Each structure stands twice: as structure tokens, then as C-alpha cells.
Amino acid sequence: MERGVRGGTPFIKKGKKMYKELTELVEKSNKIVFFGGAGVSTESGVPDFRSADGLYSMKFEHPPEVMLSKTFFKKHPEKFYDFYRTKMLYEKIEPNVTHHTLAKLEDAGKLTAIVTQNIDGLHQKAGSKNVLELHGSVLRNYCVTCNQQYNMEAIKTEGVPRCECGGIIRPDVVLFEESLNSYILDLAVNHVQESDLLIVGGTSLVVYPAASLVSLCKGKVIIINNSETSYDYQADLVVRGGIGEAFNAINTLVNFLN
């Protein structure tokens, strides 16, 4: 099986053959890294931030990329928190088959890291340990003045949540206009470089640094997505379909291995 980038044509298969190929690659690999986007969480009921039916198409005073920006947070923390509490905190969400299967793969010693663009903490809830959250987590918050750490309960108050020292508490999430945590990004790069299989799922690969991670992998690359991505040609296998469906197939394999 030649990688598309050399062969020129993406390796797209369908139906049973596609899932057979998928599970065979997973079975053969022992240093798997999973890179996941919003699509992983939409099957748990978390709206996709960037899709057409996600937050961007909702009607607000300003678009989300403004209301969730660093500038807006500084100028209008109260409005920021109104928006953030209503639209970004999802409480009754549970991990789905993708989260659970990834946790099992880590337990089985086949997966070294999960790199995620999601901020909902569902991978940890499913039992995964090495989760690299590129955009932070809604479960963590901190005081901008003294750096005191707070859980999610602390920001569920009315208005702008304040620390004991008087400072404003902010979510430990990467806001628009802010750059990714370089320490987390370095860890992700290292894991991907050492991986023998990179599975990319639930992302159209348009958001930095997803694309650059794909080209760093020296092993096999699988892209699972409902629609075409501009990196399909770099993949050894493209699974065109829902990520939950693909992970159902992997789950059957993992249960068998255990």
C-alpha cells in the first residue's frame, strides 16, 4: 500500500473492505497517535464550533470569533461570560464509542497519545490518560492575577467570576487572537513523529496545526472524515464516513484483542 502523496491517488475504499483495512492497520500498530477535531464530540451532542450548523451560524450580538476573543474578554468580561456559560459549557454530555475505544487502545498499550482540538474533557471522562488538549479545557480555569486554579463550578456564578485575591478568573481555553500552548504542541509533535500510525478523525484539517502534524508522521496515516479533506492524498487510508461508525469497527477489534 503506497501513500497517496507518492502514488498520487488517495487510497479510498468503501464498505467492509475499508473497515477491514482500518482494523488491520490498528492491529499491526503499537504507537498509535489519534488526532481529533470537533466531529469526535458532535456524536456526544456537542455542537461543532466551525461547521455550518454549529455556533458560527447562530445569531448573536457578535460572531463567536469576536465574543470568544482575548480583546472581547478584556473589554467586556460580563458579556463574554454570558456567552461562554450559555454556549460553551455542556454539562450533560457523555463520551461516545470513539472516546471509549481510544481509552481501551491506550490501556492495551497500543496508543501513546490523543491530540485534540476539543475542550470538553470527554476523553478523560472516558478514561484516557495522555490527552494533549491543544485548545485547553472548559474544566480548568485560573485567576489572571495570582494564577490560582479553579474548577468549572467556580465560573458558574452570575457575572464575572472573581478569585479570592480579587483578580478575574478566566477559562483555561485558547481564545481567538491567542496562540496555542507551545509546550503542549511540542509534546504533540514528538508523539506524532514517533508514531507508527496516525489516525486523524472528525476534522476537515483546515485548522492549524492539524495539517502540519499529518506531514510529520513517518508511519501510516488514516484520515476518517465525512467529507473530503485537502490532505487525503497524504493518507494511506481514507475512511469516508462517520467517525463513530469507524470506531465501532475498531472497538470490535480491541474487545477481541483484550
Our answer to whether residue 135 is catalytic in this structure is yes
> In the range 131-150, which residues lie near Zn ion by CB under 5 A?
143, 145-146, 148
Which three cell numbers mark 87? 454556549
**How would you class 197 by CB atoms within 10 Å of its CB: exposed for 0-12, middle for 13-18, buried for 19 or more?**
buried
CB of 19 to Zn ion, least distance (A): 51
Strands lying side by side in the sheet with 237-240: 12-13, 237-240, 220-225, 197-201, 32-36, 111-116, 131-133
Q: Who contacts 124 (Cβ-Cβ below 8 Å, separation ≥6)?
A: 131
CB of 150 to Zn ion, least distance (A): 9
CB of 142 to Zn ion, least distance (A): 8
Q: Which is nearer to Zn ion, 148 or 193 (CB)?
A: 148
Q: Where are the alpha helices (DSSP H) in the chain?
A: 4-7, 15-28, 38-42, 64-67, 70-75, 77-87, 97-107, 122-125, 182-194, 210-216, 243-257
Q: Which is nearer to Zn ion, 26 or 163 (CB)?
A: 163
Distance of CA 199 to the CA centre of its chain: 12
Residue tagged active-site, from 99, 100, 135, 191: 135
Check residue 108 for interaction with Zn ion (CB under 5 A).
no
CB of 140 to Zn ion, least distance (A): 15
Give the position of cell 490518560.
Answer: 129
Q: Which is nearer to Zn ion, 167 or 209 (CB)?
A: 167
How many residues lie near Zn ion (CB under 5 A)? 7
Q: Which is nearer to Zn ion, 145 or 255 (CB)?
A: 145
- Give the integer Cα–Cα distance in Å for 159 and 251: 44
Beta-strand relationship, 149-150 and 111-116: unpaired
> In the range 151-180, which residues lie near Zn ion by CB under 5 A?
163, 165, 167
- Give the integer Cα–Cα distance in Å for 42 and 44: 5
CB of 74 to Zn ion, least distance (A): 16
Q: Which is nearer to Zn ion, 155 or 163 (CB)?
A: 163
Question: Active-site positions?
Answer: 135
Q: Which residues bind Zn ion (CB under 5 A)?
A: 143, 145-146, 148, 163, 165, 167
